[in-house]
Amino acid sequence: MVRKLLCLLLLFSAGSAYLPLFARTFPPNTIVEPGPGFTLHPNPVTGTWFHINLAFSESDYPNAKFSISNVLGEVIYAAPIKKTEFAGAKVRVDVADLKLDRGVYFVQVSGGDKSRILRLIVR
C-alpha cells in the first residue's frame, strides 16, 4: 500500500522527485545533500531530443553518470557523462534513438555516492 502511494506521489507531484529521500527516514534536523545539480530541457519533451543541463563540473563529480528509468524502476538507458559533455555543461539525449514512448520517465544523475532524480515527461 505504501509503495503504491509513493508511486502515485512521484507520478503526480510537480517538479522533481528525490527518490532517495523517500526511501530513508532521517532524524530531525538532518541536512540531506541532494547530489549533482541538473535540469531537463525541454520538459515535457515534444520533439525528438532533450538536454540534461549540468550544474556541476567534472572536478565536483569526476565519475558522474546518468540513467533513464521507467515508472516501474527498470533502467532503460545508462551512460557515463563524457568530458565533452562536461565542457558544454549539457548532455543531449535523443528520444528516437532510445525508443522512448510517450510517458513518464525518471532521469538520475549520480556521482560517487550521491545522486539526484528528476521526472521527465515525453509527449
Q: Three-state SS string across 19-80, please?
A: HHHHHCCCCCCCCCCCCCCEEEECCCECCCEEEEEECCCCCCCCCCEEEEEECCCCEEEEEE
How far CA 91 is from CA of 11, 35, 59, 83, in Å, comes to 24, 17, 17, 10
pLDDT for res 28: 56
CATH 2.60.40.3080 fits 2-122, yes or no: yes
For the entire predicted model, the pTM comes to 0.73
Phi, psi values for residue 93, rounded to 5°: -120, 125
Please list the residues that pair with 93 across neighbouring strands: 50
Q: What is the pLDDT along the chain (123 residues), one digit of tens a residue?
A: 445 444 544 444 444 444 444 444 445 554 556 789 999 999 999 999 999 999 999 999 999 999 999 999 999 999 999 999 999 999 999 999 999 999 999 999 999 889 999 999 999
Contact 109/116 with Cβ under 8 angstroms? yes
Structural domain spans, the chain: 2-122
Other Cβ atoms within 10 Å of 16 Cβ, number: 16
Rounded Cα distance, 86 and 58, in Å: 6
Ramachandran region, residue 56 (left: φ > 0; alpha: ψ -120 to 50; beta: rest):
beta
